Copies of this chain bind each other. A is one copy, B any other.
Amino acid sequence: MLNKQQNILIIGAGLCGSLLALRLAQRGYNVTVYEMRPDLRKTDISAGRSINLAFSDRGNKGIKLVGLEDKVRPLCIPMNGRMLHDRDGKTVLSNYSGRAHEYINSISRGGLNALLLDEAEKHNNVTIHFNKKCKSVNFEKTTAYFIDTLDSTEFIEDADCIIATDGAGSALRQSYFLERKFLFSFSQEWLTHGYKELSILPEKNGGYKTYKNALHIWPRGDFMVIALPNLDGSFTVTLFLSYDEGEYNFNNLTTPEIVIEFFQKEFPDALELMPNLVEDFFENPTAPLGTVKCSPWHYKGNTLLMGDSAHAIVPFYGQGMNASFEDVVEFDAVLDTHEGDWETIFTEYEKRRKKDTDAIADLAIDNFHEMKDHVGQAIFQEKRKIEMALEKEFPEDYASKYSLVTFNEHIGYREAMLRGRAQDKAILNMLSDGVISADDNIKDILVKVKTETKAILEDDKIAGLH
- A residues adjacent to B (C-beta < 8 A): 183-190, 288, 290, 293, 369, 374, 421, 424-425, 428-429, 432, 459-460, 462-465
CB-CB < 8 A to A187: which residues of B?
185-189, 293
CA A465 – CA B374 in complex, angstroms?
A: 13
A462 near B183: Cβ-Cβ < 8 Å: no
* A432 to chain B: closest residue by CB: B462
B424 near A463: Cβ-Cβ < 8 Å: yes
A310 to chain B minimum Cβ distance, whole angstroms, is: 15
* A288 to chain B: closest residue by CB: B183
CB-CB < 8 A to A424: which residues of B?
463
B459 near A369: Cβ-Cβ < 8 Å: no
B465 near A425: Cβ-Cβ < 8 Å: yes
Closest 10 CB pairs of A and B: A187-B187, A425-B463, A183-B190, A185-B189, A432-B462, A429-B459, A185-B190, A428-B463, A428-B462, A429-B462
Give the oligomeric copy count.
Answer: 2
CB-CB < 8 A to A429: which residues of B?
459, 462-463
Between A and B, 19 residue pairs with Cβ closer than 8 Å are A183-B190, A183-B288, A184-B188, A185-B187, A185-B189, A185-B190, A186-B187, A187-B187, A187-B188, A369-B464, A374-B464, A421-B463, A425-B459, A425-B462, A425-B463, A425-B465, A429-B459, A429-B462, A429-B463
Told that A185-B189, A429-B462 touch, could you supply 13 new A-B pairs with CB distance under 8 A?
A: A184-B190, A186-B187, A187-B188, A421-B463, A424-B463, A425-B459, A425-B460, A425-B462, A425-B463, A428-B463, A429-B459, A429-B463, A432-B462
Asked if A188 meets B188 with Cβ closer than 8 Å, knowing A374-B464, A428-B463, A464-B374, the reply is no
Tell me which of B183, B188, B374, B463 contacts A185 (CB under 8 A): B188
Instruction: Tell which of A374, A421, A432, A463 has the most Cβ of chain B within 10 Å.
Output: A463
CA A369 – CA B464 in complex, angstroms?
A: 10
CB-CB < 8 A to A369: which residues of B?
464
A208 to chain B minimum Cβ distance, whole angstroms, is: 34
CA A407 – CA B428 in complex, angstroms?
A: 35
A374 to chain B minimum Cβ distance, whole angstroms, is: 7
CA A190 – CA B190 in complex, angstroms?
A: 21
CB-CB < 8 A to A190: which residues of B?
183-185
CA A346 – CA B408 in complex, angstroms?
A: 47
CA A460 – CA B126 in complex, angstroms?
A: 52
A148 to chain B minimum Cβ distance, whole angstroms, is: 24
CB-CB < 8 A to A293: which residues of B?
187
CA A459 – CA B424 in complex, angstroms?
A: 11
CA A293 – CA B293 in complex, angstroms?
A: 14
CA A185 – CA B185 in complex, angstroms?
A: 14
CA A429 – CA B187 in complex, angstroms?
A: 33
CB-CB < 8 A to A432: which residues of B?
462
CB-CB < 8 A to A465: which residues of B?
425
CB-CB < 8 A to A188: which residues of B?
184-187
CA A302 – CA B364 in complex, angstroms?
A: 34
CA A459 – CA B369 in complex, angstroms?
A: 18
A213 to chain B minimum Cβ distance, whole angstroms, is: 29
A78 to chain B minimum Cβ distance, whole angstroms, is: 30
